[in-house]
Amino acid sequence: MNTTARQPLLWDIFCQVIDNHGDVGVCWRLARELAARGHAVRLWLDDLRALPWLAPGAWSGAFERIRVLPWPRSAQALAQLPLADVWVEAFGCELPAAFVARFAAEQAMPQPVWINLEYLSAEDWVERMHALPSPVLAGPLAGRRKWFFYPGFTPAAGGLLREGDWPARQARFDRTAWLAAHGVRWQGEPLASLFCYEPPALPALLEQCAASGWHWLVTPGRATQAVQAALPLLRSASAHTTPRITFLPHLPQPAYDELLWACDFNGVRGEDSLTRALWAGRPFVWHIYPQHDGAHHAKLAAFLRWLQAPASLAAFHAAWNDAPGAPALLAPGQGALREWQACVQAARQRLMRQADLASQLIHFIHQKQSETST
């Protein structure tokens, strides 16, 4: 898919932050990848607190062609703002009222291509919904049209974010040097990263893996809190069964990728880190964002079907996500880890044969612009 032959575009990406790691993480990765391809991006956030650690220098303008802006509150403050080529509402957020007020009467042509960038899922309906129009029926922008754009795992969906330099970066990665630089004392023991919510099976996993000498590298925030709450619940505190744990500081996105590369097993959560775990090609377990109605279990099952997960990996996911009827969690041995890694790497190869999310978005925008101009 050729996305470089046309003129660069100006993008407005809007993100209302629910999860500083996930929502902001996806939007920042998209902004970085668009900028790397010569496009200009205005990234609008209603919460800027994650940027100092997730993307140092982003707020101060250190990244060429990316401008980070606070959520607009006044149409007057936007008076000199040029009209973009693309509007992206990330994860179902709506355009800010002040932004709508500024541009509702704008008659410049062509009008921005308006994208509703949705959540990632492997469920069957994603392919049916992807790239469908959504007419705007009310409000100052009534009569215009949005387009649903669904990231996904199959050629009929919108793809996954993937940087052009990712394979080369991973190929030259030096695990020993990285661990030393980040203060991890490593003596060749199995390494596992942990980024999760509060899985009920966490105490069982820590206890089982302690006997095998696993060394846990735990991300800050909810994962650290979950581990600290789990430790007193372990049934044994002998020297042979006490888990070895390093609590990490917040890592910028490139360093988080490197953490996944450094580990023999990764616990990830949400959507951004799931994608990164797939590109890392290491065995992993996904802690899917829990929903009160249990809908996340169907979403998890769809992903495991696409992944072609072996029975042991599916059972581990069910236990980790507290699925109804799940078996007791059983920590993987070396044979299971090898099987899981083969599964993940086969999935990565399937994904590498598909166009990435940024490429598909750019192609889609140019297509819609061409349709409007004819």
Residues 6+ apart with CB under 8 A from 280: 170, 257, 260, 261, 266
The phi, psi pair for 92, rounded to 5°, reads 80, 5
Question: 246: which strand partners?
Answer: 217
Instruction: Provide DSSP, 129-164.
Output: HTT-EEE--SSTTTT-EEEEE---SSTTS------T
- CA 86 to CA 41: how far, in whole Å? 9
Are the C-beta atoms of residues 333 and 149 closer than 8 Å to each other?
Answer: no
Beta strand pairing call for 265-269 and 284-287: parallel
Q: How are strands ordered across the β-sheet holding 40-45?
A: 66-70, 40-45, 10-15, 86-90, 113-117, 145-149, 133-135
Strands (DSSP E) contained in 243-372 are: 244-247, 265-269, 284-287
| Pairwise CA distance, residues 32 & 63, whole Å | 8
Judge whether 272 counts as a catalytic residue.
Answer: no
Strands 133-135, 145-149: pairing is antiparallel
Query: Cβ(38)–Cβ(11) under 8 Å?
Result: no
The DSSP call for residue 81 is: P
CA 217 to chain centre: 19
Q: Is 257 a catalytic residue?
A: no
3-class state of residue 269 by DSSP: strand
User: Coil, helix or strand for 10?
Assistant: strand
Q: Rounded to an integer, what distance in angstroms lies between the CA atom of residue 279 and that of residue 266?
A: 12
Token pair 């979950």: residue: 226
Among 23, 118, 272, 356, the one annotated catalytic: 23
CA 160 to chain centre: 9
330-362 b/e (C-beta count within 10 Å ≥ 16 → b): ebbeeebbebbbebbeebeeebeebbbbbbbbb
With beta carbons less than 8 A apart as the criterion, state whether 54 and 221 touch. Answer: no
Q: Which among 33, 163, 271, 272 is annotated as catalytic?
A: 271
Residues with catalytic function: 23, 271
